[in-house]
Amino acid sequence: MKKSLIALAVMAAAGAASAQSSVTLFGIVDANISYQRTSGGEKNTFLANSGYNSSRLGFRGTEDLGGGLSASFWLEGALANDVGFGGSQATGFDFRRRSTVSLAGGWGEVRLGRDYVPTFWNMTVFDPFGTNGVGSNIGHKVKLDGGTAATAGGIVDPAYVRSNNMVQYFLPANLGGFYGQISYAFDETPNTAAGQQNAGRYIGGRLGFASGPFNVAAAYGQTDGQETFASPDVKNWNIGGQWDFGMAKLLGVYDRASYESVGVDNDLDTWLIGGLIPVGAGEIRLSYGRSKLDTAGGDPRTSQWALGYVHNLSKRTALYATYAHVSNKDGANISVGSSLQNRVAGLTNASSSGFDLGIRHSF
């Protein structure tokens, strides 16, 4: 997800004394033709977005405050460029991918606003398909979709990918390979509210170590719900890693999430292993993953394998093709489509397969 920069000379309105800083306009427009079908007979072809990288438009910048201190902002919104809307298929453009303001120094960074939660980083960084397109991490599909409430327990984690209202601290870059963050989101629920007074509160953290070809990270996060079936307490931890052998990169991630409420005690286990193999100007991508949801009514299971190829026309522009096959059993009903908008319906105990053919252009 390299992004090209527009470096702009910024002159403070009040004059020449201010330090040179930069504001960057950046984005990705990714479109693909996605053909998908299920063993239940449904077939469909879509013009979809974000098959390789998530389509986006953003503005960000950093100001050097002197003495090692800097302030920065980041405003980034999703693009459903197949239909011209913002993040979902039916709403305008917003900055729900990230909207933050930060103060950073040698001691690290304090960041305020909406952003990814710690656990999501492992789900996407250690997935060869980056949680995008038909090849996306099967755990990602299960979590986004939630499955049918009747059979799969109606998993709902509002802070699976991002959270509003966060205060985060990030470790500085110079810790000999260690990196990490702690993240807290205010629940903003009044203490006088009936029921769960912390509903919406998120607490999480991530710690990783990267050195040479090696990178591993573990993360934990929990969200307080409203203690109802549809809004359980969620506890989530995962661990992921990769090893770059030069001729190939091996990746893997294991994720466990618990959903607890009155009469609900579901556990979702999901893992994947995958690889990235450089081939000339391109890269072969492959993964295999499984998920199991432990519920009182049964243990729906899903597995997936995916194979893809990315051909880089330049650093900014790539063509890609991905094939994936999803199998459901024991009541699972996950579709091969990674987007709620552009996918065939998930059918109980059915399999589905999909093929993305697309272009990713970044700026």
Site for a second copy in 219-238 (CB under 8 A): none
- The token pair that represents 161 in the structure block: 């990918």
Instruction: For residue 47, state whether it binds a second copy (rule: CB under 8 A).
Output: yes
Report the residue number, 250 or 359, with the smaller CB distance to a second copy. 359
Burial 309-338 (b: 16+ CB within 10 A, else e): bbeeeeeeebbbbbbbebbbeebbbbbbbb
Instruction: For residue 71, state whether it binds a second copy (rule: CB under 8 A).
Output: yes
Task: Match 């090849």 to its residue by tokens.
Answer: 135
Report the residue number, 48 or 218, with the smaller CB distance to a second copy. 48
Instruction: For residue 210, state whether it binds a second copy (rule: CB under 8 A).
Output: no
- The token pair that represents 294 in the structure block: 């432990």
Q: Segment 149-208, which members bind a second copy (CB under 8 A)?
A: 164-167, 185-186, 188-192
* CA distance readout (Å), 208 to 118, 122, 173, 220, 221: 11, 10, 12, 12, 15
Q: Segment 340-359, which members bind a second copy (CB under 8 A)?
A: 342, 344-345, 358-359
Instruction: For residue 281, state whether it binds a second copy (rule: CB under 8 A).
Output: no
Report the residue number, 80 or 257, with the smaller CB distance to a second copy. 80
Q: Least CB distance from residue 301 to a second copy, whole Å?
A: 25
Report the residue number, 115 or 255, with the smaller CB distance to a second copy. 115
Give 345's DSSP letter: P
Report the residue number, 93 or 243, with the smaller CB distance to a second copy. 93
SS3 265: strand
Task: Count residues near a second copy (CB under 8 A).
Answer: 89
Rounded Cα–Cα distance for residues 110 and 131 (Å): 27
Instruction: For residue 65, state whether it binds a second copy (rule: CB under 8 A).
Output: yes
Q: Which of the ranges 58-66, 116-124, 229-237, 288-296 carries the binding residues for a second copy, by CB under 8 A?
A: 58-66
Q: Which of the ranges 83-91, 120-128, 209-217, 248-256 carries the binding residues for a second copy, by CB under 8 A?
A: 83-91
Rounded Cα–Cα distance for residues 354 and 349 (Å): 17
Q: Least CB distance from residue 355 to a second copy, whole Å?
A: 14
For the chain, the first-to-last Cα distance in angstroms comes to 11
Q: For a second copy, what does the binding mask look like between residues 6 and 45, x meaning CB under 8 A?
A: xxxxxxxxx---xx-x-x-x-x-xxxxx------xxxxxx
Please return the burial class of 26, using the count of CB atoms within 10 Å of its CB with bins 0-12, 13-18 and 19+: middle
Report the residue number, 165 or 228, with the smaller CB distance to a second copy. 165
Burial 222-248 (b: 16+ CB within 10 A, else e): bbbbbeebebbbbbbbbbbbbeeeeee
Instruction: For residue 311, state whether it binds a second copy (rule: CB under 8 A).
Output: no
Q: Which of the ranges 173-181, 227-235, 236-244, 309-317 carries the binding residues for a second copy, by CB under 8 A?
A: 309-317
Host H or E run for residue 119: helix 118-125
Host H or E run for residue 20: none
